[in-house]
Structure 1
């Protein structure tokens, strides 16, 4: 059976599950679907929902924040509105020197559309993209 038959969930390592909870639940507003242990850490992991199903497995780990790459992307209908809501919740939009950003921190996406980036407290990077 091919892997395409199964749901896919991104796993995100964080250094402090409490700080991660404040970000993912408090600032991004993601619902907790499940919480439990992570390795030897009681209550060190969360599964968050997005788009109607499980989307992110967030767990405490010493490897947190070790990649500069974008780890997951939300595809949204109204990027301006989402960025405004996140900024109002205290989320910083990441700006990269190699891109031209508008006042909100949004940049044209290669091939059309637009993109913005955010980071969690460990520097894990997420993209927000729209086709318009």
Structure 2
């Protein structure tokens, strides 16, 4: 059976699971579907739901925040509203020198649409994208 027939979940390494829980649940408003151990850390991981199913595995690891690449993208209908809600929750949006950003931190996306980036406390980068 090809991999395309199976669910895919993104895994994100964090250095402090409690700080990550405060960010992912408190600021992003994600719901933890379950928690479990990570390596030798009891309660060191969480699986968060998004889009109707499990989507994001967050686990404590020494490898946290080691990449500058965007690790996951949420595709949203109303980018302005989501950015405003997250900003009100304390999320800060990243501005890259090579792109023009509006006052909210949103930039035109290559090929059309718009995008905004933010990071968790470990510097893991996420994006919000919309086609308009």
Residues 55-85 of structure 1, C-alpha deviations (whole Å, 9 max, x = no match)? 1000000000000000000000000000000
Unaligned runs of 5+ in 1: none
Number of equivalences:
132
CA distance, structure 1, for counterparts of residue 25 and residue 50 of structure 2? 12
DSSP 3-state at the match of 1:21: helix
Following TM superposition, by how much is the alpha carbon of 1:14 offset from its aligned partner in structure 2, in angstroms? 0.0
Give the superposed CA RMSD: 0.3
CA distance, structure 2, for counterparts of residue 57 and residue 101 of structure 1? 30
Unaligned runs of 5+ in 2: none
DSSP 3-state at the match of 1:19: helix
Runs (4 or more) in structure 1 with deviation over 3 Å come to: none
Tell me the residue number matched to 1:102: 102
DSSP 3-state at the match of 2:83: helix
Q: How does 1:17-32 map to 2 (within 5 A)?
A: 17-32=17-32
Following TM superposition, by how much is the alpha carbon of 1:125 offset from its aligned partner in structure 2, in angstroms? 0.2
CA distance, structure 1, for counterparts of residue 103 and residue 92 of structure 2? 13
CA distance, structure 2, for counterparts of residue 92 and residue 106 of structure 1? 12
Q: How does 1:1-132 map to 2 (within 5 A)?
A: 1-132=1-132
CA distance, structure 2, for counterparts of residue 91 and residue 41 of structure 1? 27
* TM-score, L = length of structure 2: 1.00
CA distance, structure 1, for counterparts of residue 86 and residue 52 of structure 2? 20
DSSP 3-state at the match of 1:20: helix
Following TM superposition, by how much is the alpha carbon of 1:129 offset from its aligned partner in structure 2, in angstroms? 0.1
Following TM superposition, by how much is the alpha carbon of 1:32 offset from its aligned partner in structure 2, in angstroms? 0.5
* TM-score, L = length of structure 1: 1.00
